[in-house]
Amino acid sequence: MQAWTQGADGQGASKARELFQKVYGGDPQGVWSAPGRVNLIGEHTDYNAGLCLPIALPHRTYVAASPRTDSRVRLVSTMDPEHPVQADLDGLQARGVRGWAAYPVGVAWALQRDGFPQVRGFDLALASCVPVGSGLSSSAAMTCAVALALDDLFDLGLGGDEAGRVRLVQAAIASENDMAGASTGGMDQSASMRCRSGCALRLDCRPELDAMSNVRQVPFDLEAAGLELLVVDTRAQHQLNDGQYDQRRATCEQAAQLLGVANLRQAADQVNGAADPPSALAALLERLPDETMRRRVRHVVSEIGRVDRFIEAFGRGDYVLAGRLFNASHDSLRDDYEVTCPELDEAVDAARQGGAYGARMTGGGFGGSIIALADAGKGSDLARDVAERFASKGFKAPRALIALPSSAAVREA
């Protein structure tokens, strides 16, 4: 089993700085970083105004950057160091930049559009220690690191408090949605910008909440609990922009309309707050016209309910129940929401059989990664079990890491 040592080696900041010096000459004005994330529970709930519970990974994306006085943007990534790319912010329209450059350029474009005309061009070098396309949010790590860099380079004064960080989160989301054309519900960017070390972020995605009331830091001390959180990247194709994600979103919106609620969160609150939630859910589903839509709604409503149950179970040391909630989440994503794939299901099954308290896919699905909650010291055995299962199925060899809840975007130097 391959392990990811990248990102734990502390070399990201100097890699970004060295690449900057090599490509542009001279020193960058600063280096900033932002983490990838894993979501503990609450999947496909963010765009339904629901609840989710991400932690920041120790794996981060680093950007070395300097401001320019014109509107040009020059970019280079360690992923393709021989091919720097350029763009111009002047007259730029949505979807006006193609390829990976859309993400960083889109952040500057969104900030300019949303009230910060002082943002100008910049030179930037990127070094990512977040596995790319593994469902661990390398895209948000990149846009959030860029957002914090631009905040400093152009004195926007946003990075220092929660309300300001929410503005940066919004620019990062707009960049993915409107410039890169990759739909995102906002959990990834909030995690990368707002998580704290040692904590999970209980993110409440109701749009009416302000920056102070939409997050709560939930202690998630795995070490004190004698536990490990294993992350396994199945390396199965992870492709969210082939329409599946948008279809799920559209179905949820239609269902909310049919139910006469602003979003499925409102339906979830009615069900989960009822005296008898299972019959309340059954009654709700009866009001929907087709079986597929009923299953999609059942996932969203039940998944929102699982988030606080997980927090409560973990908080009082009931790891058996916490693990069962992981399992229920995965099964719901597999059977009702239909966003898993054979690799995710096999990885989860192997981890459960190997003795994890529970295991589930994490992220958008259709590939990407799983997480498993296990006793401390057991993670590498489980990773081996998954690798053996994959070998026997003829799947690509997976990669594994042990996750610890880490900190949000910061200035490094």
Which residues are at the interface with ligand ADP (CB under 6 A)?
A: 61, 77, 79, 100, 103, 126, 128, 132-139, 142, 182
Q: How far is the CB of 121 from Mg ion (least distance, A)?
A: 25
Which of Mg ion, ligand ADP, none lies near 135, with the C-beta cut-off 5 to 8 A by kind? Answer: ligand ADP
Q: How far is the CB of 175 from Mg ion (least distance, A)?
A: 11
Which of ligand ADP, Mg ion, none lies near 133, with the C-beta cut-off 5 to 8 A by kind? Answer: ligand ADP
Q: How far is the CB of 133 from Mg ion (least distance, A)?
A: 8
In the numeric block, the tokens 């309309």 are attached to 257
Euclidean distance between CA atoms 194 and 208, whole angstroms? 18
- Pick from 326, 388, 406: which is nearest to 361 by CA? 326
Residues 40/358, Cβ–Cβ less than 8 Å:
no
CB nearer to ligand ADP: pick between 84 and 277: 84
188 catalytic, yes or no? yes
DSSP character string of 158-225: -TTSHHHHHHHHHHHHHIIIIII-----SHHHHHHHH--TTEEEEEE--TT--TTTSEEEEE--HHHH
CB nearer to ligand ADP: pick between 265 and 399: 399
**Active-site residue, selected from the candidate residues 188, 233, 336, 385:** 188
CB nearer to Mg ion: pick between 34 and 222: 34
- Pick from 144, 4, 15, 171: which is nearest to 78 by CA? 15
Cβ count within 10 A of residue 246: 12
Which of ligand ADP, Mg ion, none lies near 192, with the C-beta cut-off 5 to 8 A by kind? Answer: none
Q: Which residues pair with 231 in a beta bridge?
A: 371, 401
CB nearer to ligand ADP: pick between 125 and 300: 125
Q: How far is the CB of 91 from Mg ion (least distance, A)?
A: 27
Q: Which residues pair with 401 in a beta bridge?
A: 231
369 scored as a contact of Mg ion (CB under 5 A): no
Residues 297/336, Cβ–Cβ less than 8 Å:
no
Which of Mg ion, ligand ADP, none lies near 390, with the C-beta cut-off 5 to 8 A by kind? Answer: none
DSSP character string of 116-163: -TT---EEEEEEE-SPTTSSS-HHHHHHHHHHHHHHHHTT---TTSHH
Q: Give me the residue whose beta carbon is nearest to Mg ion.
A: 139
Among 139, 214, 329, 340, binds Mg ion (CB under 5 A): 139
Which of ligand ADP, Mg ion, none lies near 39, with the C-beta cut-off 5 to 8 A by kind? Answer: none
CB nearer to ligand ADP: pick between 15 and 294: 15
175 scored as a contact of Mg ion (CB under 5 A): no
Q: Which residues pair with 90 in a beta bridge?
A: none
Residues that are catalytic:
188
Where on the chain is the footprint of Mg ion (CB under 5 A)?
Answer: 137, 139
